[in-house]
Amino acid sequence: MRAEWIKRRQEGRARVRWWREQRAAIDEAMASVGLLELNAECDRLGEYTGDLEEAIVATPATTMVGIAIKLRYMREVAAGAELLTGQPPADEDYDWQYRFALSALHDAERLAGGQS
């Protein structure tokens, strides 16, 4: 029994050592190309974006344009990664629960004198 426990313990230590070496190599590679700084900047911008989103939500719209702005932002959040293409998906490509807000967006844009 003890021999088996010692063997498992040695194997476990070897796995931990291997993992630490791999992690160190990954960290070194990331640092060499500036990914650590980039990740830190992404985190900072994410916090900034969160603050802006909170401000948008907390600020009451006083015009149809204000309502349209909030609804446009909701559309961008709903589209998520699909916006990386530069164009939001077509209305019919959103999940059904977003279509009510998209309809309200088009109404707000129309009432504000914009195009929809």
Q: Quick check: 115 pLDDT over 60?
A: no
Axis crossing angle, helix 64-79 with helix 96-111, rounded to the nearest 10: 150
Domain that holds residue 68: 60-116
Same domain? 50 vs 86: no
Q: Distances in Å between the alpha carbon of 114 and those of 20, 35, 42, 89? A: 57, 42, 34, 20
CA dihedral of residues 55, 56, 61, 66 (deg, nearest 10): 140
54-78 tens-digit pLDDT: 898 899 989 888 888 888 888 887 7
Same domain, 40 and 73: no
Domain count across the chain: 2
pLDDT tens per residue across span 14-55: 999 999 999 999 999 999 999 989 999 988 988 888 888 889
- Domain shared by 86 and 50, yes or no: no
Pick the more confident residue, 108 or 83.
108
pTM strictly above 0.85: no
